[in-house]
Amino acid sequence: MPELPEVEALAGFLREHAVGAVIGRIDIAALSVLKTFDPPITELQGKDVTDAARFGKHLALRAGDLWLITHLSRGGWLRWVDNPSAAPPKPGKGPLALRIHFFTPEGATPAIDLTEAGTKKRLAVWVVRDPQQVASIARLGPDAMTVTELEFAEILSSTTARLKTSLVDQSLLAGIGNAYSDEILHVAKLSPFASSSKLDPEAVGALYAAMRSVLSDAVARSAGQDAARLKGEKRSGMRVHARTGLPCPVCGDPVREVAYVDRSFQYCATCQTAGKILADRRMSRLLK
């Protein structure tokens, strides 16, 4: 799932390439993606794109008094297409969910494709006059890139949830998902299962510093790639996330994972849990 750094890179790409263009036809290939009907999506046609922004993990395109907002969800991506086919796509075929055509001041006619891989279709699109009208944006906590250390400490002390759960809870802190929370906890040398409200001030400081460095490094890396010309999110430089069994870059011991039915997360026992192996939910279920 695209998280803060990838969505930030896509917003940056759109600011550079789409702002100033006029919105043309919008093709809806998957009917389920559009979550709003008033204002109608056709109201965007003929308007100039004036800005692009990120709200947590949501990507937004502004056209005057209207916003088109998307949450790419697990398998979604945004792709810039220089020469899109003029024929409308066939609904329900392939990964394309929505296509927005543009007319640029230079006379080009590119498009944005919102695509979603996999069978579970969860990509969502809203057309609103105010981003706060999107319920999942109105619920967002402070953004992980701008939250202060004091606010961060207050957020952690307000919940007894495990650190792994707190970091990805969008209502507490916006922008971080499964991948970057693994990376942040590894850099901070903290257990994913530690209780958020019981961290001592030193650990809170280490976690805050790790969050800032992991996210700003990833934003810098993502911005260097032509995000919207890639076929899907490509991440580089992950330390432990999705690296089960590979050597930890700090201590060399194998990266371990905790697996659930449909997802998993990774950590280094030597660096993060004083060698303790965390319970694998999938295994303990099988052993019951």
- The residues that touch Zn ion, with contacts defined as CB under 5 A, are 248, 250-251, 268, 270-271
3-state secondary structure of 82: coil
Residue nearest to Zn ion (CB): 248
Nearer to Zn ion, 13 or 265 (CB): 265
Residue 68 tokens, joined: 């088109």
Q: From the CB of residue 20, how many other CB atoms can be counted at a distance below 10 Å?
A: 14
CA atoms of 227 and 78, how far apart (whole Å): 9
Nearer to Zn ion, 58 or 256 (CB): 256
Minimum distance from residue 268 beta carbon to Zn ion (Å): 3
Residue 121 tokens, joined: 């279709």
Nearer to Zn ion, 222 or 272 (CB): 272
Minimum distance from residue 250 beta carbon to Zn ion (Å): 4
Helix (H) or strand (E) holding 17: helix 4-17
At how many degrees (to 10) do helices 178-188 and 201-224 cross? Answer: 130
Minimum distance from residue 139 beta carbon to Zn ion (Å): 35
Nearer to Zn ion, 206 or 250 (CB): 250
Nearer to Zn ion, 103 or 193 (CB): 193
Nearer to Zn ion, 199 or 271 (CB): 271
Nearest residue to 132 via CA among 55, 62, 73: 55
Minimum distance from residue 252 beta carbon to Zn ion (Å): 7
* Burial class of residue 160 (count of CB atoms within 10 Å of its CB; 0-12, 13-18, 19+): exposed
Nearest residue to 247 via CA among 259, 239, 255: 255
Minimum distance from residue 247 beta carbon to Zn ion (Å): 8
CA atoms of 281 and 44, how far apart (whole Å): 47
Minimum distance from residue 161 beta carbon to Zn ion (Å): 24
Nearest residue to 81 via CA among 60, 61, 101: 101
Nearer to Zn ion, 45 or 264 (CB): 264
CA atoms of 121 and 3, how far apart (whole Å): 18
Nearest residue to 136 via CA among 128, 197, 112: 128
Minimum distance from residue 248 beta carbon to Zn ion (Å): 3
